[in-house]
Amino acid sequence: MSDKKGRDNQPTLDDVAKAAGVNRVTASIALRGPRPGARGGTRISEATRQRIIETARELGYAPNAIALAFRRQRTDLIGFYTGYGNAVDPHLPFMADVLHGLQQGCARHQQDLVIYGGFARHSTNEIYSALVSGKIDGLVVLPSPQNPVVEKLVHSYLPAVAIANTVAGLPSVTVDDIGGSQLLATYLARKGHRRVLYRTDTVDHVSPGLRRRSFLQAAAAHDLEVIVSLPESSSDTMTAAEHALLTGPLHQRPSVVVCWVDTSAYAFLADCAHYGIRVPEDIAVAGFDGIVGVVPPLYRLTTVRAPWRAVTECAVDLVMQLIENHKVPPETTLPVELIVGETA
């Protein structure tokens, strides 16, 4: 086995050139072709080129990616930054979709993906510096509300695209929160529901806000009464107030719970099972996201499917456009779909 002493004794372009008896530049061009407009292939004779390629193969030459990146000012690396803490927990279906989209997007453009680590205990400036340090060519951002790093990115040179939530000054890719909420309100009204408990997010963010407001509006248009509830977002368990409503007098009891996001709905379903509340007989439940897991769930949830993978892939596409100095639309909205399960 070879020594594991580092890349130092790897052959360089100079080594190849020397071994083939040509100049460094000749080797460079023979192996990777000229970058600029360049006068076609006439630069190097086919014989020399073949000899150089063969020499490179023999020596086991692999170009130094860092030197290349240094020279070209291009790393072929796309980064991902999430405002929600350091960890990108891929067990969350939303994150899994995002990661999958990042990968597919990067693969399509022959880029590699960088997930940052160790931002946890860093200051805004340190994180920002790391992002714009030139390590990556572009960035997909999952913005959290009022994130100062995201604010700085808006004014930076770094090509960046936001997903899931709009950010003023950054091109964003989102799902049709408004359309989805309307779809849901209309469906529930048709099914004969008159009173809805709407569970929303405690953190004020663009997308949940849009969903809530547009649901309220659509509900009003359908004569649906809506009670808004704010469970603790970390656990999403059923609050005392919610429990009281569901077990209270029939004439003020909601017949359906709409959750701003599927995870909240699943947590609610689990609590219903725990309290012996039957779904959908006692209460119907609907979500928003369209989570799919490999593990067959307890219930097939009625929900609005949001194409997060596609959203993220699209964001990567836009980042590539920006990198190549093309214009991109400030907002891209992808359509959603109503999925009728067995819970509502």
Partner DNA sequence: ATGAAAGCGCTAACAT
Partner DNA sequence: ATGTTAGCGCTTTCAT
Hey, which residues between 163 and 182 contact its own copies (CB under 8 A)? 169
- Rounded to the nearest whole angstrom, what is the least distance from the CB of residue 12 to DNA in the complex? 4
Q: DSSP letters along 60-125, please? A: T----HHHHHHHHT---EEEEEESS-S---TTSHHHHHHHHHHHHHHHHTT-EEEE----TT--HH
Nearer of residues 18 and 205 to DNA, judged by Cβ: 18
- Rounded to the nearest whole angstrom, what is the least distance from the CB of residue 119 to its own copies in the complex? 8
> Residue 333: which of DNA, its own copies, none does it interact with, CB under 5 to 8 A by kind?
none
Nearer of residues 5 and 190 to its own copies, judged by Cβ: 5
Q: Give the residue carrying structure tokens 């796309």.
A: 78
Radius of gyration of the chain (CA): 27
Q: Which residues fall within 8 angstroms of residue 142, CB to CB, at 6 or more apart?
A: 80, 81, 82, 83, 84, 98, 162, 163, 164, 165
Nearer of residues 32 and 194 to DNA, judged by Cβ: 32
Q: Which of 19, 53, 59, 95 binds its own copies (CB under 8 A)?
A: 95
> Residue 28: which of its own copies, DNA, none does it interact with, CB under 5 to 8 A by kind?
DNA
> Residue 22: which of DNA, its own copies, none does it interact with, CB under 5 to 8 A by kind?
DNA
Q: Which of 117, 192, 249, 276 binds its own copies (CB under 8 A)?
A: 117
Q: Give the residue carrying structure tokens 């695209």.
A: 161
Q: What is the C-alpha to C-alpha distance for residues 200 and 213, in angstroms, rounded to an integer?
A: 10
Tokens of 108: 């399509």
> Residue 2: which of DNA, its own copies, none does it interact with, CB under 5 to 8 A by kind?
its own copies
Q: Which of 13, 29, 114, 283 binds its own copies (CB under 8 A)?
A: 114
Nearer of residues 48 and 233 to DNA, judged by Cβ: 48
Q: What is the C-alpha to C-alpha distance for residues 79 and 57, in angstroms, rounded to an integer?
A: 32
Q: Which stretch binds its own copies (CB under 8 A): 71-79, 173-181, 207-215, 244-252?
A: 71-79
Tell me which residues touch DNA (CB under 7 A).
8, 12-14, 21-26, 28-29, 31-32, 34-36, 42-45, 47-48, 63-64, 67-68, 70-72
- Are 199 and 260 spatial neighbours (Cβ–Cβ below 8 Å)? yes
Q: What is the C-alpha to C-alpha distance for residues 168 and 190, in angstroms, rounded to an integer?
A: 37
Q: Is the four-CA dihedral 272, 274, 278, 280 of positive or negative sign?
A: positive
Tokens of 126: 């340190």
Nearer of residues 130 and 189 to DNA, judged by Cβ: 130
> Residue 12: which of DNA, its own copies, none does it interact with, CB under 5 to 8 A by kind?
DNA
Interacting residues with its own copies between 233 and 252 (CB under 8 A): none
